Amino acid sequence: ADQEDPDPSKKTLVVLGTGWGSVSLLKKLDTENYNVIVISPRNYFLFTPLLPSCTTGTIEHRSIMEPIRNFLRHKKAAVKYYEAEATKIDYEKKVVYINDDSEIKGATSATEVPFDMLVVGVGAENATFGIPGVREHGCFLKEVADAQRIRKRIMDCCETATFKDQSPEEIKRLLHMVVVGGGPTGVEFAGELQDFFENDLRKWIPEISDNFHVTLVEALPNVLPSFSKNLIDYTEQTFKEETISIRTKTMVKNVTDQYIEAEFTDASGQKQLEKIPYGLLVWATGNALRPVVKDLMSQIPAQKDSRRGLAVNEYLVVKGTENIWAVGDCAVANYAPTAQVAAQEGAFLARLFNQMAKTEEIENKLASLSEDQAKAPSKEVRDEAFAQIKDLQKRLRRVQKMGPFEYSHQGSLAYIGGEKAVADISWLTGNLATGGQLTYFFWKSAYLSMCFSTRNRILVIMDWTKTQIFGRDVSRE
* CA separation for the pair 25, 368 (Å, rounded): 32
**Segment near ligand NAD (CB under 6 A), from 270-278, 301-309, 331-339, 403-411?**
331-339
* CA separation for the pair 64, 321 (Å, rounded): 35
What b-and-e string marks burial along 21-43, b requiring 16 or more CB atoms within 10 Å of the CB? Answer: bbbbbbbebbbebbbbbbbbbbe
Q: Are strands 95-99 and 110-114 parallel, antiparallel or unpaired?
A: antiparallel
* Residue 192 in the binding site for ligand FAD (CB under 6 A): no
* Residue 324 in the binding site for ligand FAD (CB under 6 A): no
* Residue 39 in the binding site for ligand FAD (CB under 6 A): yes
Of 150 and 362, the one with the shorter C-beta distance to ligand FAD is 150
* Residue 181 in the binding site for ligand FAD (CB under 6 A): no
* Residue 121 in the binding site for ligand FAD (CB under 6 A): yes
- Asked if residue 160 lies in contact with residue 153, where contact means CB atoms within 8 angstroms, the answer is no
Size of the site for ligand NAD (CB under 6 A): 29
Smallest separation (angstroms) from ligand NAD to the CB of 97: 29
Size of the site for ligand FAD (CB under 6 A): 33
* CA separation for the pair 448, 156 (Å, rounded): 31
* Residue 413 in the binding site for ligand NAD (CB under 6 A): yes
Judged by CB under 6 A, the residue of 12, 14, 20, 244 near ligand FAD is 20
**Segment near ligand FAD (CB under 6 A), from 37-45, 53-61, 159-167, 172-180?**
37-45
- Asked if residue 230 lies in contact with residue 433, where contact means CB atoms within 8 angstroms, the answer is yes
**Segment near ligand FAD (CB under 6 A), from 228-236, 248-256, 332-340, 463-471?**
332-340
* Residue 138 in the binding site for ligand NAD (CB under 6 A): no
Of 180 and 292, the one with the shorter C-beta distance to ligand FAD is 292
φ, ψ for residue 105 (rounded to 5)?
A: -120, 145
Of 35 and 456, the one with the shorter C-beta distance to ligand NAD is 456
* Residue 344 in the binding site for ligand FAD (CB under 6 A): no
Partner touching 309 among ligand NAD, ligand FAD, none, CB below 5 to 8 Å by kind: none
CA dihedral 269, 275, 281, 284 (to 10 degrees): 20
Return the residue nearest ligand NAD (CB atom): 183
* Residue 284 in the binding site for ligand NAD (CB under 6 A): yes
Smallest separation (angstroms) from ligand FAD to the CB of 219: 19
Judged by CB under 6 A, the residue of 110, 220, 367, 387 near ligand NAD is 220
Smallest separation (angstroms) from ligand FAD to the CB of 384: 49
* CA separation for the pair 305, 297 (Å, rounded): 10
Beta bridge partners of 214: 177
* CA separation for the pair 58, 50 (Å, rounded): 10
Partner touching 194 among ligand FAD, ligand NAD, none, CB below 5 to 8 Å by kind: none
Smallest separation (angstroms) from ligand NAD to the CB of 383: 59
What SS3 state is found at 29?
coil
* Residue 181 in the binding site for ligand NAD (CB under 6 A): yes
* CA separation for the pair 113, 40 (Å, rounded): 13
* CA separation for the pair 461, 432 (Å, rounded): 27
Other residues' Cβ atoms within 10 Å of the Cβ of residue 117: 18
The residues, any chain, with a CB within 8 Å of residue 65's CB and separated by 6 or more, are 44, 45, 46, 47, 144
- In 222-295, the DSSP E strands lie at 245-247, 250-255, 259-265, 271-277, 280-283, 287-288
* Residue 183 in the binding site for ligand NAD (CB under 6 A): yes
- Asked if residue 58 lies in contact with residue 443, where contact means CB atoms within 8 angstroms, the answer is no
Partner touching 123 among ligand NAD, ligand FAD, none, CB below 5 to 8 Å by kind: ligand FAD
Judged by CB under 6 A, the residue of 15, 26, 118, 122 near ligand FAD is 122
* CA separation for the pair 119, 108 (Å, rounded): 24
Which string of x and - marks every residue 85-104 that binds ligand FAD (by CB under 6 A)?
Answer: xx------------------
* Residue 463 in the binding site for ligand FAD (CB under 6 A): no
How far is residue 298 from each of residues 198, 291, 304, measured CA to CA in Å? 50, 11, 7
Binding positions for ligand NAD, rule: CB under 6 A: 49, 129, 131, 180-186, 188, 217-220, 225-226, 251-252, 284-287, 336-338, 412-414
Binding positions for ligand FAD, rule: CB under 6 A: 16-22, 39-42, 48-49, 51-52, 85-86, 121-123, 141-142, 185, 290, 292, 328-330, 337-340, 342
